[in-house]
Chain A
Amino acid sequence: MTAVAELMDYAEVVERFDPVLGLEVHVELSTATKMFCGCPNLFGGEPNTHVCPTCLGLPGALPVVNGSAVESAIRIGLALNCEIAPWCRFARKNYFYPDMPKNFQTSQYDEPIAFDGYLDVVLDDGEVVRIGIERAHMEEDTGKSLHVGGATGRIHGAEHSLLDYNRAGVPLIEIVTKPITGIGERAPEVARAYVTALRDLLRAMDVSDVRMDQGSLRCDANVSLMPRGATEFGTRTETKNVNSLRSVERAVRYEMTRHAAILADGGGIRQETRHFQEADGTTSAGRTKETAEDYRYFPEPDLVPIAPSPQWVEQLRGTLPELPWERRKRIQQEWNLTDEELRDLVNTGAADLVAATVDAGAEPGEARSWWVQYLTQQANTREVELAGLPITPAQVATVIGLVKQGELTNKLAREVVQGVLDGEGEPGEVIERRGLKVVSDDSALIAAVDEALAAQPDVVEKIRGGKVQAAGAIVGAVMKATKGQADAKRVRELIMERCR
């Protein structure tokens, strides 16, 4: 399979074809327990330790819906501007699969809890694309198989397979877009931006870990092409379980170039699922769907229907946090940021921290410069995420306040912050322990100034001779003698007084 030879140059692809995307994102909810039983919903763990008769699908066991998962589903639906179904049910999706203990998945089929919404996605240059949301529905995750003894880790060639059902029954929300059209060459970027926006939204709502690397957010990308000007969609392929934002973009781009080459050659696209290869950015054929699989859906008889009352839905609407893009818009206006400054803020992951620092009483400009510059540097040195630094926005605001009041110089302030990061306690304690107060007592300063002047009589001569800039050397000496705790401005004033 020589993938590269089969590709078409991207510029030519977008000149000849219009792409149509469909993105299906699976999100594992971070509820305390699983979708239909009381087992803990935890990532990893010794295999088959978070299981019970229900999530193992043992004969006789029955599901009971996790109310907090329904709550999350409704909140997600509301955040995606969806309608919330006043009455809906679970359905059974029947198919045989070793990872799935009951051999049917309890899911929602024709009665999703949320439907017909949209998400506005901001591209890098500020263009906003509105992505239609077809539906968001609830379902349960499957277990995992581990194939042992083969070269590839796949079932083919394996000596035996091990099954871990810890993940079986974890609550999932599947969010499905309407066909995304009219985005032309920007399709890969749009795909990435959409998944990014969705991830940020879900993170802000605190409903999921949204860790693509751990599979708590997974994206299936459907891609098809139609000749420019055509209205009928082409045959699509579905690239499964793409597990990073960058890969979403690469997978879409790769499929576009692959489809284009085949179509331009007079060939036809086979409707199939494909796997994305992280290493070289290509996709390979998975299962061919020649005939649509018949899942024999029917309403799940073991569960009663869900009928969220309008009051409950409105109450949940009230729990939605300020949504990421709304906050960005507000921050940009309030803090008077250029697009570029906003982007820096967002890219360093500092926006929330700056906002919290401002909320704690700091000036936006000061707060931004502390987080984007000094603290970002510290995070890099310490190899942690910015948000993972052991300092709170409130502590940063305290330090900024002390500088403003003249209690600390900028240099001292950085030392205080350093102390907080090193675990020496609150800013006040660090100042106390390291003796970092600005010396504002004139008598102490005068002594230091006199000492410095006495040590450098030539400089005193120069100043008296009118060379005012020579005072810098004395200021430096005083600052050194006071370990930087002197107010430089006051020191200069004192020098000029003494040399008059």
Chain B
Amino acid sequence: MTELTTLPAAELAAKIHAREVTSVEVTRAHLDRIAAVDDHVHAFLHVDREGALAAAEAVDADLAAGKAPASPLAGVPLALKDVFTTKGIPTTCGSRTLEGWVPPYDATVTRTLREAGVVILGKTNMDEFAMGSSTENSAFGPTHNPWDHARIPGGSGGGSSASLAAFEAPLAIGTDTGGSIRQPGAVTGTVGVKPTYGGVSRYGLVAFSSSLDQGGPCARTVLDAAMLHEIIGGHDPMDSTSIDAPVPPVVAAAREGARDGLSGVRVGVVSEFRGEGYQPGVLRSFEAAVDQLRALGAEVVEVSCPHFTYALPAYYLIAPSEASSNLARFDAMRYGIRVSDDGTHSAEEVMSLTREAGFGPEVKRRIMLGTYALSSGYYDAYYGSAQKVRTLIIRDFDAAFEQVDVLVSPTTPTTAFKIGERVDDPLAMYLADLCTIPSDLAGNAALSVPCGLSDEDGLPVGLQVMAPALADDRLYKVAAAYEGARDAAAGGSLVHQVPELNGGAR
């Protein structure tokens, strides 16, 4: 029965729908796994055992009654990043500020998952308000990388990706603002997809940076990610930035890539994303992946995107600016914690003292940075210039996508670093998202798929694939083709090489 936690979601769904196994059995197996190992991983902030079992029972009852499954993934468990509101289940965004807050409403993603019969196991750990690249900024303690407990699982969605690598969940949802789905995916050896901006509703996603935030699927296989993508994607009238167009046929694209290879596909290697600052083992894994793409029939060319060099500074002006405004609502007046409300402080003082107590150092740092960047004397020099850089990056992508179908690069410059290693050096920390940020600024689609273990430390490396906006299907085609070839050559999927955790065999 323990194999229930190791199967891909697609296979679990097939077994559940064929009534070879019940959703309750599958759900219980994952809940048991969480109970056994999460003390060591700390992927979850909140496990909704009863809610998950009730949802699983409902799916089983429907199937027993002869009803068709509500979706291709009905009955499969999922771990939800704690940044999405969940009616009746605490939502904290990894912050003290929201400790104990139980939202009165479901995010559109949450509602869609529930309607699809996907079983929500609980809420996963994250950097506070999704600000960070290591999940060390969670107010509730860091998540540990299942590959090496002393290392970070990436951020900000470290909990979601770690839950996959720890076999606590077969599927997860993350959000990507500067790389928070792809970067944790890369360092945990799992798949992470940032759909085209507007491809998945932001309604109920507690905002970090509205013009960048994008929810997306996390999984252990490309096909699983595609199936999840098709469920959560699509237009939402509650989010005016959501795209009013059909979800690209990502599942079909994944199947096509796995079956037909990549002949006729033009792949561009971004020349700016290699060289100084990149771990040699990461580059070697990446080069091997590029060779594999060639072997699959892809035509590979070198492409230059000169403005990508300015993406990081532009991002660190735009994201904090929007965050400083988005986080203003956490003022102790209506929800979340309140401190110093002892009758001796004015409303302004209570607000200020609560924010002082509720926000961690990284959040404060970014609020200050953003407040400064938006202030009247500096707006043009900082926020305004950053927006211009953003336009130049979009043009770089446009020019590149005239020559090639997709761009590739390493997902991260290094493998997972040690917990605490970069805590005192924010600028070093920010480099972890170097390769992922341009796609967020441009709003196009990008994905990370495991591309082996770095030869010097044995830790996972990610291959990033980037596609134009609304061409998410290309990501899946390329990644599925690559994944199939790599797994065949290596004799199995990379994530299954993760060491056994304390808590026993999965």
Residues of A bordering B, CB below 8 Å: 53, 56-65, 92, 94, 96, 98, 101-104, 155, 161, 163, 292, 294, 296-298, 301-304
User: Which of A53, A96, A163, A301 is the one whose CB lies under 8 Å from B211?
Assistant: A301
Of B56-64, B153-161, B328-336, the one touching chain A: B328-336
A sample of 8 cross-chain residue pairs with beta-carbon separation below 8 angstroms, ordered by A number, consists of: A59-B101, A60-B91, A62-B238, A62-B239, A292-B376, A301-B241, A302-B207, A302-B210
The residues of A that contact B335 with a CB separation of less than 8 Å are 58-59
Within residues 77 to 125 of chain B, which ones have a CB less than 8 A from any CB in chain A? 84-85, 91, 93, 98, 101, 103-105, 107
**Contact across chains for A60 and B206 when beta carbons are under 8 A apart:** yes
B183 part of interface (Cβ distance < 8 Å): no
The residues of A that contact B240 with a CB separation of less than 8 Å are 62-65, 302-304
Q: Which residue on A lies nearest to B346, using beta carbons? A: A155
**Contact across chains for A161 and B374 when beta carbons are under 8 A apart:** no
**Contact across chains for B329 and A103 when beta carbons are under 8 A apart:** yes
**Contact across chains for A60 and B328 when beta carbons are under 8 A apart:** no
Within residues 306 to 363 of chain B, which ones have a CB less than 8 A from any CB in chain A? 321-322, 324-325, 328-331, 333-335, 347-348, 351
Number of interface residues of B (CB under 8 A): 44
Given the interface contacts A58-B335, A59-B93, A64-B237, does A294 sit within 8 Å of B376 by beta carbon? yes
The count of A-to-B residue pairs whose CB atoms sit within 8 angstroms is 103
User: Which of A60, A65, A94, A294 is the one whose CB lies under 8 Å from B85?
Assistant: A60
**Contact across chains for A161 and B347 when beta carbons are under 8 A apart:** yes
The residues of B that contact A298 with a CB separation of less than 8 Å are 321-322, 325, 374, 379, 383
Q: Which residue on B lies nearest to A298, using beta carbons? A: B374
**Contact across chains for A60 and B325 when beta carbons are under 8 A apart:** no
Q: CA–CA, A130 to B163, complex, Å? A: 69
Within residues 202 to 238 of chain B, which ones have a CB less than 8 A from any CB in chain A? 202-207, 209-211, 237-238
**Contact across chains for A60 and B103 when beta carbons are under 8 A apart:** yes
Q: Which residue on A lies nearest to B92, using beta carbons? A: A59
Given the interface contacts A62-B238, A62-B240, A294-B375, does A104 sit within 8 Å of B328 by beta carbon? yes
Q: CA–CA, A103 to B241, complex, Å? A: 21
Q: Which residue on B lies nearest to A165, using beta carbons? A: B334
B436 part of interface (Cβ distance < 8 Å): no
Q: Which residue on A lies nearest to B83, using beta carbons? A: A60
The residues of A that contact B322 with a CB separation of less than 8 Å are 298, 301
**Contact across chains for A60 and B379 when beta carbons are under 8 A apart:** no
Taking the closest CB of chain A, its distance from the CB of B32, in whole angstroms, is 31
The residues of A that contact B203 with a CB separation of less than 8 Å are 60-62
Binding site secondary structure of chain A: loop
**Contact across chains for B104 and A53 when beta carbons are under 8 A apart:** yes
Q: Which residue on A lies nearest to B101, using beta carbons? A: A59
**Contact across chains for A304 and B347 when beta carbons are under 8 A apart:** no
The residues of B that contact A61 with a CB separation of less than 8 Å are 105, 203-204
B371 part of interface (Cβ distance < 8 Å): yes
**Contact across chains for A59 and B103 when beta carbons are under 8 A apart:** yes
The residues of B that contact A102 with a CB separation of less than 8 Å are 328-329
**Contact across chains for B105 and A296 when beta carbons are under 8 A apart:** no
**Contact across chains for B371 and A59 when beta carbons are under 8 A apart:** no
Taking the closest CB of chain B, its distance from the CB of A105, in whole angstroms, is 11
The residues of A that contact B238 with a CB separation of less than 8 Å are 62, 64
The residues of B that contact A297 with a CB separation of less than 8 Å are 374
**Contact across chains for A58 and B333 when beta carbons are under 8 A apart:** no
User: Which of A94, A163, A302 is the one whose CB lies under 8 Å from B374?
Assistant: A94
**Contact across chains for A62 and B202 when beta carbons are under 8 A apart:** yes
**Contact across chains for B206 and A59 when beta carbons are under 8 A apart:** yes
User: Which of A63, A296, A302, A303 is the one whose CB lies under 8 Å from B376?
Assistant: A296
Taking the closest CB of chain B, its distance from the CB of A77, in whole angstroms, is 22
Taking the closest CB of chain A, its distance from the CB of B466, in whole angstroms, is 22
Q: Which 10 A-B pairs have the closest CB atoms?
A: A103-B328, A301-B210, A301-B211, A296-B374, A60-B204, A59-B206, A60-B85, A60-B206, A64-B240, A102-B329
**Contact across chains for A101 and B374 when beta carbons are under 8 A apart:** no
Taking the closest CB of chain A, its distance from the CB of B208, in whole angstroms, is 11
Taking the closest CB of chain A, its distance from the CB of B214, in whole angstroms, is 12
The residues of A that contact B98 with a CB separation of less than 8 Å are 59
**Contact across chains for A60 and B321 when beta carbons are under 8 A apart:** no
> Of A58, A101, A102, which is in contact with the most chain B CB atoms at under 10 Å from its CB?
A58
Q: CA–CA, A155 to B348, complex, Å? A: 12
The residues of B that contact A161 with a CB separation of less than 8 Å are 347
The residues of A that contact B383 with a CB separation of less than 8 Å are 298
Q: CA–CA, A322 to B268, complex, Å? A: 63
The residues of A that contact B105 with a CB separation of less than 8 Å are 53, 58, 61
Given the interface contacts A53-B104, A65-B240, A302-B241, does A103 sit within 8 Å of B376 by beta carbon? no
Q: CA–CA, A311 to B105, complex, Å? A: 40
Taking the closest CB of chain A, its distance from the CB of B41, in whole angstroms, is 26
**Contact across chains for B328 and A98 when beta carbons are under 8 A apart:** no
Q: CA–CA, A63 to B105, complex, Å? A: 15
Taking the closest CB of chain B, its distance from the CB of A348, in whole angstroms, is 47
The residues of A that contact B237 with a CB separation of less than 8 Å are 64
Q: CA–CA, A324 to B211, complex, Å? A: 44
Taking the closest CB of chain A, its distance from the CB of B213, in whole angstroms, is 9
The residues of A that contact B206 with a CB separation of less than 8 Å are 59-60
**Contact across chains for B104 and A96 when beta carbons are under 8 A apart:** no
> Of B85, B210, B325, B348, which is in contact with the most chain A CB atoms at under 10 Å from its CB?
B325
Q: CA–CA, A98 to B335, complex, Å? A: 13
User: Which of A59, A63, A98, A294 is the one whose CB lies under 8 Å from B333?
Assistant: A98
Taking the closest CB of chain A, its distance from the CB of B119, in whole angstroms, is 22
Given the interface contacts A59-B85, A294-B375, does A96 sit within 8 Å of B210 by beta carbon? no
> Of A58, A65, A296, A297, which is in contact with the most chain B CB atoms at under 10 Å from its CB?
A296
Q: CA–CA, A278 to B91, complex, Å? A: 48
> Of A62, A161, A163, A302, which is in contact with the most chain B CB atoms at under 10 Å from its CB?
A62
The residues of B that contact A292 with a CB separation of less than 8 Å are 376
The residues of B that contact A303 with a CB separation of less than 8 Å are 240-241
Q: Which residue on A lies nearest to B107, using beta carbons? A: A60
**Contact across chains for A163 and B205 when beta carbons are under 8 A apart:** no
**Contact across chains for A60 and B348 when beta carbons are under 8 A apart:** no
Q: CA–CA, A61 to B379, complex, Å? A: 27
The residues of A that contact B101 with a CB separation of less than 8 Å are 59
Q: CA–CA, A65 to B237, complex, Å? A: 11
**Contact across chains for A96 and B351 when beta carbons are under 8 A apart:** yes
The residues of A that contact B241 with a CB separation of less than 8 Å are 301-304
Q: CA–CA, A298 to B101, complex, Å? A: 29
The residues of B that contact A104 with a CB separation of less than 8 Å are 325, 328
Taking the closest CB of chain A, its distance from the CB of B205, in whole angstroms, is 6
Q: CA–CA, A101 to B210, complex, Å? A: 17
The residues of A that contact B379 with a CB separation of less than 8 Å are 296, 298
**Contact across chains for A101 and B204 when beta carbons are under 8 A apart:** no
Taking the closest CB of chain B, its distance from the CB of A341, in whole angstroms, is 52
The residues of B that contact A296 with a CB separation of less than 8 Å are 324-325, 371, 374-376, 379
**Contact across chains for B329 and A59 when beta carbons are under 8 A apart:** yes
Taking the closest CB of chain B, its distance from the CB of A454, in whole angstroms, is 87
Taking the closest CB of chain B, its distance from the CB of A85, in whole angstroms, is 18
The residues of A that contact B85 with a CB separation of less than 8 Å are 58-60
Q: Which residue on B lies nearest to A292, using beta carbons? A: B376
**Contact across chains for B328 and A94 when beta carbons are under 8 A apart:** yes
The residues of B that contact A59 with a CB separation of less than 8 Å are 85, 91, 93, 98, 101, 103, 206-207, 329-330, 335
